[in-house]
Structure 1
Amino acid sequence: MGRTDLSRPLGRDGGRADERPPDAGARFAELPVRPYDLLLKAGCRLTAVLWSVLGMRRAAGVLRHYLRATGTPYRVDAAELLALPAVRYAAEEQLARWRAEAQGRWRRGPRTPAAYPADSGWRGVLLARRGSLDWWFALRGVEFRLTGTVRVAADGATNVDYRFAVCKNGNFARGARKERGESEYGIPFAVFARLHETGLAREFTVTGEAFGHV
């Protein structure tokens, strides 16, 4: 049987313990509804229909969930997200780091089969328009966290079992979105935050998970 390393997880440096909180803004239904707000909501409904017709079902689904104003979590296909080039690159960077750190610990030990827990912590990644316009309109960016185990064989070969989790709080909130690249195409997504602030829509948490072995 191999040994299990119970020290600090691999790859933990640089990641956050918790996902990023929503950007600051007015609370739900805190502001009065104006005629403009009703027009904005009607325009958003038409936008969701247009996106659906154009085949952008993910973007349409996220916007419709926002307009329902339930505030319930919205689950996305994390495996599809993981297949996007920007997300895949960020994840593979962490997996490569896990392997390197695992082999470093293994070489300092008795060099017998060993297993090392790993945890990237929460990290942000911006979605590229070129990767998928559908996903970009839907989320524009997400937080992800990889957790898993790196196993090192007696000959130093490695394999990894991992869980890939995604999360996003406040998809349309006001704040520093522009600084994080979420106002591309000249679309000020924070404008839609007023629908939450007037109670005509409601922010929610996006979640999802996928599992893999490499």
Structure 2
Amino acid sequence: METGEIRGDSHIGTTAPHAPHAPHAPHAPHATHAPHATLPVRPTDRAVRAGCSALAALWWLTGLRQASGALRHYLAGTGAPYALDASTLVALPPVRAAVNARLLEAEAGHWSGTDGWQGVRIAPSTSPDWWLAVRDVQYRVIRPNPHYYRVEFRTPFTPFARLHERGLAREFTATGRTGYLPR
């Protein structure tokens, strides 16, 4: 049974959901490079940051709102969680197909309640905006009963370790969740 039109309010998370990492779970920020602001800033680092700032503005002007917002948040340097537009994200064909497959597995009795974290790749041909913003996203399906479900998302945003390591930007976790949707 295919899930129809996305209905219900989108509730955007402000904190990352906590769950054990699934085999395809994203790495935590700082996992493969130096911690925030531990390396000296070089003039080329400031040029890269300025280029990223201009790129974020260009993306905004060309309608790439998700990519622009995520890059601007990174450059703001707070490290605070970033809210994803979950209702738009869940409507993307590869995400919708992955969620539908998980719901079919639930209906077959392979799991119930809260799903484990799964990964899905967003290709540039599917959505250049979401590809630039997150590329890969982790999702899980929460199914309190056979008639309703919601989808939660999380992904680390770590595009330029160099800027993070020099304190010119800060990595963060992007999260979001849909409202309860009918099945």
Under TM normalisation by the shorter chain, which class is it?
A: 0.7 to 0.9
**Structure 1 residue 118: deviation in Å?**
2.3
SS of aligned partner of 1:130:
coil
Deviation digits for residues 60-88 of structure 1 (CA, Å, limit 9, x no counterpart): 00000000000100001111100001111
Matches within 5 A, 1:60-75: 60-75=68-83
By how many angstroms is 1:149 displaced? Answer: 2.9
Provide the C-alpha distance between the structure 2 equivalents of 1:117 and 1:124, rounded to a whole number of angstroms. 18
How far has the Cα of 1:129 moved from its partner? Answer: 1.2
Where in structure 1 are there 5+ consecutive unaligned residues?
1-15, 103-115, 152-159, 173-188
Please show how residues 171-186 of structure 1 align to structure 2 within 5 Å: 171-172=157-158
Q: Calculate the aligned-residue CA RMSD, in Å.
A: 1.6
Ranges of 4+ aligned residues in structure 1 off by more than 4 Å: none
2:20 maps to which of 17, 21, 25: 17
Count of residue pairs the alignment pairs up: 159
State the Cα distance separating 1:213 from its structure 2 match.
1.3
Q: Runs of 5+ in structure 2 lacking a partner?
A: 1-18
Residues 1:128 and 2:115 aligned together = no
Give 1 or 2: higher helix fraction: 1
Q: Per the alignment, in what secondary structure is the counterpart of residue 101 of structure 1?
A: coil
Larger Rg over CA atoms:
1
Contact 2:106–2:112 under 8 Å retained in 1: no
2:94 is aligned, of 86, 89, 94, to 86
| Match of residue 155, structure 2, among 158, 168, 175 | 168
Q: Which of 49, 58, 61 is the equivalent residue of 1:50? A: 58
Percent identity of paired positions between Structure 1 and Structure 2: 43
Counterpart in the other structure of 1:213: 182
Deviation at 1:148, TM superposition (A): 1.1
TM-score by length of 1: 0.70
2:163 alignment partner in structure 1? 195
Separation in 1, partners of 2:112, 2:172: 31
2:139·2:152 contact (CA, 8 Å) conserved in 1?
Answer: yes
Q: What's the TM-score once normalised by structure 2's chain length?
A: 0.82
Structure 1 residue identity aligned to 2:154: C
Q: CA deviation at 1:193?
A: 1.2
Return the structure number with greater relative CO, CA threshold 8 A, min gap 6: 2
- How far did 1:26 drift? 0.9
Query: Would you say 1:34 and 2:3 are equivalent positions?
Result: no
Deviations 1:46-66 (A, max 9, x none): 100110111101100000000
